[in-house]
Structure 1
Amino acid sequence: MLDFLSSLGEQVVDAEEESFLLFTRDIPSANLGFVDARASVVDVTLHGQELAIHQSPTLLSSRREGGTTGAVLWKITPRFAEWIAAPKNPFFAASILNPAATVVELGCGISGLVALALAPRVSHYIATDQEYVRKIFKLNIDENVQAQPKKRGGGGGGRSRTEKSNNNNNNSKITFTPLDWEVDNPTTLKQTIPNTAEEPSDPGFDLLISCDCIYNEALVPAFVRTCADICRLRPVYQPDTNPETEITLAERPTVCVIAQQQRSPDVFETWLRETMRVFDVWRLSDEVLGDGLKDGTGYIVHALVLKPSP
Structure 2
Amino acid sequence: MNARLQQLLASGEEVTDAEEEAFLLFSQDIPTANLGFIDSRATTVDVTIRGDEYAIHQSPTLLSSSRAGGTTGAVLWKITPLFADWISSPSNPLWTHFFLSSASVVAELGCGISALVALALAPSVNHYLATDQEYVRRLFRSNLDENASVNSASSSRAKGGKSRGKSAKQQPSSKNAASNITFTTLDWELDQPELLKGCIEDEPGRQTQRDEKEDKGFDLILSCDCIYNEALVAPFVRTCAELCRLRPAYTPSEEDEPRSTRQPTICIIAQQQRSPDVFEAWLRETLREFRVWRLSDDVLGDGLKGGSGYLVHLLLAREKS
Mark yes or no: TM-score above 0.5.
yes
- The equivalences for 1:74-113 within 5 A come to 74-113=77-116
Residue 26 (str. 1) matches residue 29 (str. 2): yes
Check whether the contact 2:221–2:266 (CA below 8 A) recurs between aligned residues. Answer: yes
Out of 298, 301, 306, which is 1:290 matched to? 301
* CA deviation after TM superposition for structure 1 residue 308, in Å: 3.0
The aligned counterpart of 1:119 is 122
Q: Is residue 171 from structure 1 mapped to residue 182 from structure 2 by the alignment?
A: no
Matched, 1:266 2:277: yes
Matches within 5 A, 1:5-20: 5-20=8-23
Q: How does 1:205-224 map to 2 (within 5 A)?
A: 205-224=218-237
Q: How does 1:139-218 map to 2 (within 5 A)?
A: 139-147=142-150, 158-160=167-169, 163-164=171-172, 168-193=175-200, 194=203, 195-196=206-207, 200-218=213-231
Gaps of 5+ in 1: none
- Cα offset, 1:6, TM superposition: 2.7
The residue number in structure 1 matching 2:135 is 132
Q: Flag the 1:229–1:156 CA change in 2: closer, same or farther, 3 A.
A: closer
Q: Is the 8 A contact 1:103 1:125 kept in 2?
A: yes
Deviation at 1:292, TM superposition (A): 0.5
Q: Deviations over 1:122-161 (max 9, x none)?
A: 00000000000000000001110223769xxxx9973446
Report how far residue 263 of structure 1 moved: 0.2
Distance 1:157 1:14 in 2: 49
Q: CA deviation at 1:48?
A: 0.6
5+ residue gaps, structure 2, are: 155-163
Conserved 8 A contact 1:50-1:149: no
Q: Deviations over 1:200-220 (max 9, x none)?
A: 121100000000000000000
Distance in 2 between the 1:276 and 1:300 partners?
A: 16
Q: Give the match for residue 256 of structure 1.
A: 267
Equivalent residue letter for 2:29: D
TM-score by length of 2: 0.89
| Deviation (angstroms), 1:94 | 1.4
- Contact map agreement 1:48 1:149 (CA 8 A) in 2: no
Aligned length: 303
Q: Contact (CA 8 Å) 2:8, 2:93: kept in 1 or not?
A: no
Give the counterpart of 1:59 among 54, 62, 66: 62
Q: Does 1:306 align with 2:317?
A: yes
Question: 8 Å contact 2:218–2:265 — kept in the other structure?
Answer: yes
Relative to structure 1, the CA distance from residue 223 to residue 246 in structure 2 (aligned partners, 3 Å threshold; closer, same or farther) is closer
* Identical aligned residues as a percent: 62
Supply the distance in 2 between the matched residues of 1:90 and 1:46 (Cα, whole angstroms). 18
Inter-partner Cα distance in structure 1 for 2:249 and 2:26: 32
Measured against aligned partners, the alpha-carbon deviations of 1:246-280 in whole angstroms (never above 9, x if no partner) come to 953xx211000000000000000000000000100
Contact 1:116–1:141, Cα closer than 8 Å, also in 2: yes
